[in-house]
């Protein structure tokens, strides 16, 4: 994920990330997080093509308490005026000028940061089929752009003391955006959060000795999560954070910059009180220390949408590295020992 603007190939019909163009430093892009303006003729937006766009880009976010789309869509018929300054744009064009469907992305054309994804094809039906076949790629290209912006912003504004604390305690480099505060610390545990008037974004990091591959099963990860989450107190006496017991978390195995992670998504609650929300945790093995390290992120937002809060937390995992561990792996690969 370090280079999010490389060319991606998706078989016979390729998605080409077009030339990025010279950044327009005079105009700052506008628009909210995960908002997309769709530019196309009205008859296309009102027809099957528009239905296809909505089905792809307004798919529900998984494992959130309420129904929220992965993107907020806004329609405009022409690429003019203030629309040209928006951070995320999707343009649709069809006609005989296009021999086959294709999708390209351009960056920082009329504002910065900005991504403009253009889908073209000989007919509406051809574009509908193309977008349906490249559903994941269309969803992901905007997500990568938003993530890149968040990481770039985090490199400029971060909590230096928390970054150093995480480095010392877990041999882990991680960006912590400005505004987050340390809430609790012990030898194998950190709880950090950003408190808003009507919401809370937080994460806790913990580690424990690695005993084998079974440590990365959903049962083992869930047991460890409940063990450490219980250290986070709730608002009333004897209350504490726990995993919601009536919905088994989803577990999948992913690689981020070459490192293996167990990604677990689910719901948390406060035992002994009435609070809860979504969480996502990432667990990996630090070969240098032979310990499992977990970053567990949660959102509490009873009155506002949770999508953006959770995604802001998710972006943090793409800033994580284990410098000593990765140096050891590199030496082993070079020497065969």
pLDDT tens track, the chain, 337 positions: 333 333 233 332 334 344 444 444 569 999 999 999 999 999 999 999 999 999 999 999 999 988 999 999 999 999 998 899 999 999 999 999 999 999 999 999 999 999 999 999 999 999 999 999 999 999 999 999 999 999 999 999 999 999 999 999 999 999 999 999 999 999 999 999 999 999 999 999 999 999 999 999 999 999 999 999 999 999 999 999 999 999 899 999 999 999 999 999 999 999 999 999 999 999 999 999 999 999 999 999 998 999 999 999 999 999 999 988 877 666 665 666 5
The answer to the question of residue 166 being in a domain is yes
Q: Are residues 284 and 296 in the same domain?
A: yes
Predicted confidence at residue 34, as pLDDT, reads: 97
Name which of 109, 139, 120, 97 is nearest 14 in CA terms.
Answer: 120
Question: Which residue intervals of 13-112 are DSSP H helices?
Answer: 42-45, 48-57
In a domain, 115, yes or no: yes
Are 104 and 98 spatial neighbours (Cβ–Cβ below 8 Å)?
A: no
Q: Are 135 and 204 members of one domain?
A: no
pLDDT at 330: 67
- Among 154, 183, 212, identify where a domain stops: 154
In this structure, what CATH number is given to the domain that contains residue 283?
3.40.1000.10
Q: What's residue 26's pLDDT?
A: 65
* Same structural domain, 119 and 190: no
* Residue 60 forms part of a structural domain: yes
Kindly state whether residue 9 falls inside one of the protein's structural domains: no
Can you give the CATH number for the domain in which 67 is found? 3.30.379
Query: What sign results for the dihedral spanned by CA atoms 79, 80, 82, 87?
Result: positive
Eight-class DSSP state of 99: S
pTM, rounded to two decimals: 0.87
- Strand order of the sheet with strand 35-39? 15-17, 102-107, 115-121, 88-94, 35-39, 72-76
Out of 124, 154, 184, a domain closes at 154
The pLDDT score that the predictor gives to residue 187 is 94
> What pLDDT was estimated at residue 337?
58
Domain count of the fold of the chain? 2
Q: Can you give the residue range of the structural domain that contains 50?
A: 15-154
Please indicate, yes or no, whether residues 287 and 255 belong to a single structural domain of this protein: yes
Same domain? 93 vs 196: no
Residue finishing a domain among 92, 122, 154 = 154
pLDDT of residue 65: 85
């Amino acid at each position: 994920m370090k280079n999010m603007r490389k060319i991606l190939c998706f078989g016979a019909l390729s998605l080409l990330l077009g030339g990025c163009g010279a950044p327009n430093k005079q105009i700052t892009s506008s628009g909210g997080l995960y908002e997309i303006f769709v530019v196309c003729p009205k008859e296309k937006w009102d027809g099957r093509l528009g239905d296809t766009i909505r089905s792809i880009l307004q798919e529900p976010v998984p494992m959130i308490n309420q129904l929220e789309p992965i993107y907020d869509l806004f329609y405009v018929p022409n690429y003019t005026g203030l629309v040209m300054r928006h951070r995320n744009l999707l343009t649709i064009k069809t006609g005989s000028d296009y021999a086959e469907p294709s999708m390209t992305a351009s960056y920082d054309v009329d504002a910065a940061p900005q991504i403009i994804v253009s889908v073209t094809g000989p007919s509406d039906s051809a574009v509908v089929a193309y977008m349906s076949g490249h559903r994941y790629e269309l969803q992901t290209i905007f997500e990568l752009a938003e993530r890149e912006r968040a990481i770039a912003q985090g490199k400029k504004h971060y909590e230096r003391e928390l970054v150093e604390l995480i480095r010392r305690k877990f041999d882990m480099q991680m960006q912590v955006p400005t505004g987050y505060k340390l809430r609790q610390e012990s030898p194998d545990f950190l709880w950090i959060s950003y408190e808003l008037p009507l919401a809370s974004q937080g994460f806790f990091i913990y580690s424990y000795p690695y005993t084998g591959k079974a440590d990365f099963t959903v049962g083992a990860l869930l047991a460890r999560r409940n063990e450490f989450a219980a250290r986070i107190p709730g608002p009333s006496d004897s209350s504490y954070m726990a995993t919601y017991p009536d919905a088994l978390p989803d577990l999948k195995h992913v690689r981020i910059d070459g490192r293996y992670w167990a990604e677990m998504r689910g719901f948390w609650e406060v035992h002994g009180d009435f609070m809860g929300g979504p969480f996502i945790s990432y667990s990996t093995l630090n070969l240098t220390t032979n310990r499992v390290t977990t970053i567990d992120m949660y959102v509490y937002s009873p009155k506002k949408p949770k999508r953006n809060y959770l995604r802001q937390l998710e972006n943090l995992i793409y800033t994580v590295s284990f410098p000593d561990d990765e140096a050891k792996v590199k030496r082993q690969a070079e020497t065969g020992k």
